[in-house]
Structure 1
Amino acid sequence: MLSRIFFMATLFLLQACAAQSQLVQDELETVTRENLKYYLYYPEGYSPNGDKEFGILLFLHGGGESGGELGWVKRNGPPRLLAQGKQFPFLILAPQNPHEKKWWNAQAVMQLLDSVVDNSNVDSKRIYLTGLSRGGSGAWELATQYPDKFAAMAVVCGMAPLPYAHWIDKEMPIWVFHGDKDDVIAVDESDQMVNKLKEMGYDVRYTRYKGVGHNAWDRAYTTDSLYTWFAKQKRLD
């Protein structure tokens, strides 16, 4: 008898809880906050109050430079060349991903970029994008989420968002670099993305290094014609 009473009481309780279930509509405004350290290079002849506007290159480093000292950013890519004394014809913005094992925070990076552009003598139609490895993946992401922002993009051995290739601005020139012996991010990532873009009529060039592993950036970023190519690009809209 007691077990029957307990069963009935439990059943009643479950029915009461079920009767109280409801779907509530609500809204919460969220805010993205990220502490981004960065380097900003100003080219020769730049003046914040001058008549001449300059382009700007946003560089996203790879996973090996994340989450440590800001100086790590100078290990590869344009920051490394700057440390060696190379000069460029445009500004270079090189933030550091503060998280060792997280992807780039796209919204935070764009907030930083917009702030630098708004407070510098920069031509908003000559904003360039590049990244290597995890930063290359970040570059693809920015290109898909902010298709109206960049005048040109170069990606070095990054994972590619193949299903969203059509989100990228068709008028933006793209240059992809990858080593065919990459055992970290397979060259198939770039092969398939480049083929997809070409099928859709995009302006894309592909440098596929024979016998090169994941460090394709060593050759890609010492290609002087890359920076000449960047400097020639400008958005028309």
Structure 2
Amino acid sequence: PEDWDRPDDHNQELCKLFKANSYSPGRYVLNYRLFVPQATGRVPLVIYLHGADAVGDDNELQLSMHDIGTMFAKDSWQKEHPCYIIAPQYARGSYWSDPQVKGALLLLIKAFSEKENVDEKRIYIYGYSAGGVGTLRLVKENPGLFAAAVPICGATNAGDIDELVKTPLWMVHAEDDSIVNASYQGGSSPWAVHYGSRDIYERLRDVHPEMFYTEYKTGMMKERFGVNPHCSWVAVSGPAGKEIREWLFSKVLR
């Protein structure tokens, strides 16, 4: 779409700070980009999952498509919060919940954390759109791995929704997102087996020990940020998202 989010001019320079790598625990090869901080001692590891608009095998689009993938590599952030960043990319025709993709990523996280100076009590995950869906899936299936998660314009199936109470969450969505709905519940939606961000919040807010939800009202993404309502990740990567970013990095596994 014409109103799709585009990266700013500085993003290209930030992308260059990420080294191209691949990980192959078996026959499947997972491409990923790696940011290594200038730090001594153990630091957090951030896992970033791209959306469907950045699929491929170039090992570039996951970072170059939007600013959201490079936001933690900025000098201003690294000076205060040094961290490793792993940004994997899946190929066209696949998805984050594909057993091969998911399996390789989990093994990569384990191997990397054991080899490098990773604070294993501070592994964070976030993603937008399909990456928000993937974030919710990985959090559901791996309690005790991630200290916190930020799923942006994501959704998940309703079946095992209660598993999300085991991990601190901050979800972000736009009310008028028509690509991934903030809500699939109510009415006669054929997608009622899915829970959008608002559905998750309404279902779990009374039982989840630490869950936040930011919803941008209809028209706000266009008026405030000049982008399509689906592009709510813009609100997370810019000044408006500082509170979310600081919250994420404050979380430590108990």
If the TM-score is normalised by the length of the shorter chain, which range does it land in? 0.7 to 0.9
Determine the structure 2 residue equivalent to 1:184: 179
Cα distance, 1:82–1:126 mapped onto 2, change above 3 Å = closer
User: d(CA) in 2 for partners of 1:169 and 1:201?
Assistant: 5
Residues 68, 236 of structure 2: 8 Å contact kept: no
Determine the structure 2 residue equivalent to 1:13: none
1:36 matched to 2:52? The reply is no
Instruction: In structure 1, give the amino acid aligned to 2:171.
Output: V
Residues 184, 214 of structure 1: 8 Å contact kept: yes
Given candidates 88, 101, 104, the residue that maps to 1:95 is 88
Residues 174, 215 of structure 2: 8 Å contact kept: yes
TM-score (normalizing by structure 2): 0.72
Residues 31, 57 of structure 2: 8 Å contact kept: no
Determine the structure 1 residue equivalent to 2:208: 201
Structure 1: stretches of 5+ with no match in the other structure: 1-30
User: d(CA) in 1 for partners of 2:76 and 2:54?
Assistant: 21
User: d(CA) in 2 for partners of 1:150 and 1:82?
Assistant: 17
Determine the structure 2 residue equivalent to 1:221: 237
Instruction: In structure 2, give the amino acid aligned to 1:62.
Output: G
1:136 matched to 2:154? The reply is no
Aligned residues: 199
RMSD: 2.0
Determine the structure 1 residue equivalent to 2:104: 108
Note the alpha carbon deviations across 1:139-166, whole angstroms, 9 max, x for none.
1110111111010000001122332121
User: d(CA) in 2 for partners of 1:214 and 1:116?
Assistant: 33
Higher Rg of the two aligned structures = 1
TM-score (normalizing by structure 1): 0.77
User: d(CA) in 2 for partners of 1:122 and 1:83?
Assistant: 16
Residues 37, 84 of structure 2: 8 Å contact kept: yes
Q: What is the Cα deviation at residue 78 of structure 1?
A: 4.0
Given candidates 111, 117, 121, the residue that maps to 1:121 is 117
Residues 143, 169 of structure 1: 8 Å contact kept: no
Secondary structure in 2 aligned to 1:206?
A: strand
Instruction: In structure 2, give the amino acid aligned to 1:56.
Output: L
Q: Percent identity?
A: 26
- Whichever structure has more strand as a proportion of its residues is 2
Q: What is the Cα deviation at residue 137 of structure 1?
A: 0.5
